[in-house]
Amino acid sequence: MKKLLLAAGFGLAMAASAQAADKIAIVDMGNLLQQVAQTSGVSQTMKNEFGGRASELQSMESDLQAKKQRLQRDGSTMKPADRTKLEKELAAGGQAFAQKAQAFEQDQARRSNEERGKLVTRIQTAVKKVAADQGIDLVVPSNAVIYNSNDVKDITADVLKQVK
């Protein structure tokens, strides 16, 4: 009996909230993030900020590969002292490369998250403005919608215009 009353109460609450939200709209957040990121130049900013470090890592990797190939090719004919020196250089270079690569990836991920956060904030502000201007009561991300009749308005294009 308690379950029945709970289910009935839940059903009434859902019906009341559906009536309160007369105007419902959807928005494609993934599409908006992609388009706003392209138009705002976020990827170019990231390339400018991290391009030098990426080039340095590529150079280090190429140098390590060349030394590794030299060791494999000439290792058996090298003097023991030269071979040991080259092996130590490879080990030290590998550690330095791994540390720099890890720091680079962490810094790049942190900055990417910062830029994404800025974009999401801009988009959310635009969604609120468009919803208020159009008298929309509820905006739902399109990827969270299981079923959509043709009555539900997609405001993605309007939000994109507002963000630009």
- pLDDT tens for each residue of 19-36: 544 689 999 999 998 888
Q: Are 49 and 115 in contact (CB under 8 A)?
A: no
Domain ranges of the chain: 25-162
Residue 9 has pLDDT above 50, yes or no: no
Q: Mean per-residue pLDDT for 88-92?
A: 93
Strands (E) in the chain, as ranges, are: 24-27, 138-141, 153-154
Residue 58 has pLDDT above 50, yes or no: yes
Report the pLDDT value the prediction gives residue 26, as an integer from 0 to 100. 92
Q: Are 160 and 35 in contact (CB under 8 A)?
A: yes
Residue 78 has pLDDT above 90, yes or no: no
Percent of the chain with pLDDT over 90: 51
In 3D space, the residue among 155, 161, 146 whose CA is nearest the CA of residue 24 turns out to be 155
Q: How far apart are CA 129 and CA 140, in angstroms?
A: 15
Q: How far apart are CA 78 and CA 84, in angstroms?
A: 9
Percent of the chain with pLDDT over 70: 87
Q: How far apart are CA 28 and CA 26, in angstroms?
A: 7
Q: State how far Cα 146 lies from the chain centre.
A: 24
Q: How far apart are CA 164 and CA 159, in angstroms?
A: 9
Question: Higher model confidence: residue 5 or residue 136?
Answer: 136
Q: Which two tokens stand for residue 107?
A: 């810094």
Residue 91 has pLDDT above 60, yes or no: yes
Q: Which fold has domain 25-162?
A: Protein Binding, DinI Protein; Chain A (3.30.910)
Considering the chain, what is the average pLDDT of its residues? 84
Q: How far apart are CA 139 and CA 153, in angstroms?
A: 9
What pLDDT, in 10s, does the model give residues 94-127? 999 999 999 999 999 999 899 889 999 999 999 9
Report the pLDDT value the prediction gives residue 13, as an integer from 0 to 100. 46
Q: How far apart are CA 104 and CA 55, in angstroms?
A: 11
Q: State how far Cα 122 lies from the chain centre.
A: 16
Task: Map tokens 């990797």 to a residue.
Answer: 61
Q: Which two tokens stand for residue 147?
A: 């079923």
